[in-house]
Amino acid sequence: MEFFLTHKKVIIRAFGTILLLVGFVIFFWATPKEGVSQNELAALNVARMEAKVAGSSSKASKTVSDPSKFLEQMQETRARQFRYLTIFMMLFGVGFLVYSFLKKEE
């Protein structure tokens, strides 16, 4: 406990710097660009195979709800949450850095 009290400013600055750097790295570098992922390709292949099988059968098929809308909404929500998380990490990092520099010496 005494170690933390003696080196409080350095610890807060280091923590703020780490949060800020990790937030920037994840937000700008690790976030994939818009494109088609492996899961989306697999879903398209499955849909194509189902359409081929449904077209070749002579029986009337039942109407099945389309899960692709749910999947798209889930992926969009997940991407938005991940984006918010990285933004909050950067804001907290800046907050810790500002706090460590503006804290008055006691």
Residue 23 near residue 87 (C-beta atoms within 8 A): yes
pLDDT digits (tens, 9 = 90+) for 46-61: 888 888 887 765 555 5
Rg (CA), the chain: 25
Give yes or no for residue 44 having a pLDDT over 60: yes
User: Tokens in use for 18?
Assistant: 């780490």
User: Tokens in use for 22?
Assistant: 């990790």
pLDDT digits (tens, 9 = 90+) for 18-43: 999 998 888 887 666 666 677 777 88
Classify the C-alpha dihedral 37-43-48-49 as positive or negative: positive
